[in-house]
Amino acid sequence: MLKAVLVTPLLACWVALASAAPILFTSSQFLAATVASTSTLADADNASNPPTALPLIIDSTVFDANNFASGASIAAPGLLSTTADVTTTAGFASAVGSAEFIGMFTPTQPYVLLQFPAFTSSDFTNGATAFSGGSLFVRLTSGTSTLFDQVFTVGGPISTRIEIPVGATGTLDILLFSEASVLTGGSASNTATAQFNVTGVPEPAPLALLALGVVALVWSRRQNPS
């Protein structure tokens, strides 16, 4: 009896998973931007796809005998990566790197599953006025309604399921940002990476939920015969 009950939810879950599929974006854009500056020097760069071919790989770097600042970013399908690195003996230095994905789609399933299997943010600072940080901004909208808007600063796998109206235009915006700065001498750096994938998933299978409840009931009775 228990074996048969266990098979039922497994089959129902398999059917539900089989219905899940990657989101097909009707339009998408990748953006990359970098800035580097010291007390006397500055540089900046940016790129977007379209029109530039993927992957987008850019950097901005300035340096002299006493100062160094560099920002870099990479934007590609399923991957965003940014770095910011500064060193100065006495003056000011700052660097920023950002990479962004913006995609529009028409949902065919009632839920969107956002997964970041690998989000990392590594910092280094040396000096009383040194600062570095990495941030992952994720925003999902449907028409004029915001369904999800969150900032992640701690690395680790991320997975979240969001309900979305079927047939309405959805927009997903993922922005990765690295920054580093020193005010009066020292060094700082941040390196951040985010791998991502987006899947449309159906409603939780009612049969699976019912069967799991039955499993729990059977298991409870086996543990407590009285």
For 150-204, write each residue's pLDDT tens digit: 999 988 999 999 999 999 999 999 999 999 999 998 999 999 999 999 999 997 6
pLDDT band, residue 221 (cuts 50/70/90): low
Average pLDDT over residues 197-215: 68
Domain positions in the chain are 21-203
pLDDT at residue 119, as a whole number = 96
Q: Is the pLDDT of residue 9 over 60?
A: no
pLDDT for the residue numbered 203: 78
- 110 SS3 class: coil
pLDDT classification of 4: cutoffs 50, 70, 90 = very low
Paired with 135 in beta bridges are: 177
Report the relative pairing of strands 170-182 and 130-142 from DSSP bridges. antiparallel
Tokens of 119: 């989000």
Q: Whose structure tokens read 């920054």?
A: 179
Q: What is the DSSP code string of 154-193?
A: S-S-EEEEEE--TTS-EEEEEEEEEEEEESSSEEEEEEEE
Average pLDDT, rounded, for the chain: 88
Residue 161's DSSP bridge partners are 113
CA dihedral angle for residue 142, residue 146, residue 150, residue 151, rounded to 10 degrees: 90
Flag whether pLDDT at 133 surpasses 60: yes
Q: Is the pLDDT of residue 11 over 60?
A: no
